[in-house]
């Protein structure tokens, strides 16, 4: 008798979202947990991942022998073939063999890929890009990730290090990025980039309703949305600046790839999606060739928080 369930994980810098899928690709149980509640070492993050899987299995009332496979999307540069996280900007992982740790614990196959690659895969298989052959994806969250479908296949480049759109340099004299470069898209358009801008404005004596969260480095997407809705000047400027640079990056990718669709996902887009996409649509024509632009759609991710979970499921189904 075939095993019935797949466990899929979205491993982020602040949270782990887990889901159990049944044989009909329906989510029968889900769980969200803070990533770093047990400390900030690679082994401690691994323990939280294992805890999420164990809690879900127990709470859903299913047997371990009925688990077919586990898959995950995680931030960073990941050797998808070997299951090794080479580098993760928001988690304490360097050349970390997570596959062997998970497979040894649960005795089932484990697959892992870059979170945004996996999220774009989910949108391509089941969401806003279904049926398309060429897709560009930007996922806006704590950081900024990219994903790319070329000719009907997920493109990850040599040794799975490609599609790091968040680190395309848009202004060589721009703000310092966590990757060490200056002026990356991530340094302008991610939550980290927006907070850095707000922090700079606060240092000049300007007021914002997000001051406390910015100082703590923990701004929530829904609070950012609230601040913009209430016309907080510093928050509005930070979002407008983020969308401006994302429009430039979008134009560059439209010219380079000529995709059928550009997808925007991640926590910030989930909270503010329509507003963000409208701002980008208003500007993007300035940064790409009209003859290419006219055959490209700009869309918000259809699966929301579940893009990466469904992408992880599609990784299992591809094996």
40 is in which domain, residue-wise? 5-119+307-318
Look at residue 89 and tell me whether its pLDDT is greater than 80: no
Q: Considering the entire predicted model, what is its pTM?
A: 0.90
Rounded Cα distance between 220 and 222, Å, is: 6
Answer whether residue 124 is part of any domain.
Answer: no
Decide which of 183 and 84 is more confident.
Answer: 183
Domain annotation covers residue 125: no
Residue 37: how many other CB atoms lie within 10 Å? 12
Q: What are residue 78's phi and psi, to 5 degrees? A: -125, 130
Strand 77-79 vs strand 84-87: parallel, antiparallel, or unpaired? antiparallel
Per-residue model confidence (pLDDT) at position 255: 98
pLDDT digits 0-9 by tens, 61-76: 998 899 999 999 998 8
Please tell me whether residues 194 and 209 are part of one structural domain: yes
Whether pLDDT at 5 is above 90:
yes
Residue 63 burial (CB < 10 Å; 0-12/13-18/19+)?
Answer: exposed
Looking at every residue in the chain, the average pLDDT score rounds to 92
Co-location of 97 and 138 in the same domain: no
DSSP code, position 179: T
Extract the tokens encoding 31: 């769980």
- CA 141: distance to chain centroid? 6
For residues 114 and 138, state if they share a domain.
Answer: no
For residue 254, give the CATH number of its domain: 3.30.420.40
Say yes or no: 156 and 241 in one domain: yes
- When pLDDT is cut at 50, 70 and 90, the band that residue 1 belongs to is low
In terms of DSSP bridges, do strands 144-150 and 135-140 run parallel, antiparallel, or are they unpaired?
antiparallel
Asked if 165 and 243 sit in the same domain, the reply is: yes
For residues 44 and 137, state if they share a domain. Answer: no
* Domain assignment of residue 134, yes or no: yes
Evaluate if residue 268 carries a pLDDT over 60: yes
**Mean pLDDT computed over 124-153:** 95
Helix (H, G, I), strand (E, B) or coil at 192: helix
E strand intervals along 104-193 = 110-114, 135-140, 144-150, 153-154
Same domain? For 314 and 233 the reply is: no
277 and 311 share a domain?
no
Domain assignment of residue 19, yes or no? yes
221-245: pLDDT as tens digits:
999 999 999 999 999 999 999 999 9
Q: 270 lies in a domain?
A: yes
pLDDT of residue 104: 93
Let me know whether 210 and 289 are in one domain. yes
213 in any annotated domain: yes
Tokens 């480049």 correspond to 157
Number of domains in the chain: 2
Asked if residue 39 has pLDDT above 60, the reply is no
Each residue's pLDDT tens digit, 184-205: 999 999 999 999 999 999 999 9
Same domain, 312 and 293: no
Q: What is the pLDDT of residue 211?
A: 96
Name the band, by pLDDT with cuts 50, 70 and 90, for residue 20: very high
165 and 235 both lie in a single domain: yes
Q: Is residue 176 part of a domain?
A: yes
Question: Which pLDDT score is estimated for 38?
Answer: 45
Pair (145, 289) in one structural domain: yes
Mean pLDDT of 17-34: 93
35 part of a folded domain? yes
- Residues making up the chain, counted from first to last: 319
């Amino acid at each position: 008798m075939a095993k019935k369930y797949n466990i899929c994980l979205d491993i982020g810098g602040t949270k782990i979202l887990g889901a159990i899928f049944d044989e009909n690709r329906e989510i029968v149980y889900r769980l969200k947990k803070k990533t770093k509640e047990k400390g900030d070492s690679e082994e401690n993050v691994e323990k939280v991942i294992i805890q999420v899987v164990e809690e879900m299995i127990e709470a859903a009332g299913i047997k371990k022998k009925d688990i077919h496979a586990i898959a995950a999307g995680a931030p960073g540069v990941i050797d998808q073939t070997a299951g090794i996280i080479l580098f993760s900007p928001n988690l304490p992982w360097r050349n970390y063999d997570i596959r062997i740790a998970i497979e040894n614990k649960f005795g089932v196959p484990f697959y892992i890929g870059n979170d945004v690659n996996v999220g774009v895969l989910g949108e391509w298989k089941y969401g806003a890009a279904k049926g398309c052959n060429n897709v560009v994806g930007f996922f806006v969250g704590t950081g900024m990730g990219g994903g790319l479908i070329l000719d009907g296949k997920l493109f990850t480049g040599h040794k799975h290090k490609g599609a790091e759109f968040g680190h395309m340099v848009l202004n060589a004299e721009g703000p310092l990025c966590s990757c060490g470069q200056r002026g990356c898209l991530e340094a302008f358009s991610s939550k980290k980039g927006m907070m850095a801008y707000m922090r700079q404005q606060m240092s000049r004596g300007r007021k914002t309703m997000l001051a406390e969260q910015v100082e703590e480095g923990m701004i929530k997407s829904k609070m950012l949305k609230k601040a913009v809705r209430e016309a907080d000047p510093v928050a509005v400027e930070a979002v407008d600046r983020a969308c401006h640079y994302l429009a430039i990056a979008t134009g560059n990718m439209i010219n380079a790839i000529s995709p059928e669709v550009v997808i925007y996902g991640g926590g910030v887009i989930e909270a503010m999606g329509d507003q963000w996409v409208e701002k980008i649509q208003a500007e993007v024509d300035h940064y790409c060739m009209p003859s290419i632009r006219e055959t490209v759609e700009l869309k918000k991710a259809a699966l929301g928080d579940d893009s990466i979970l469904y992408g992880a499921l599609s990784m299992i189904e591809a094996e």
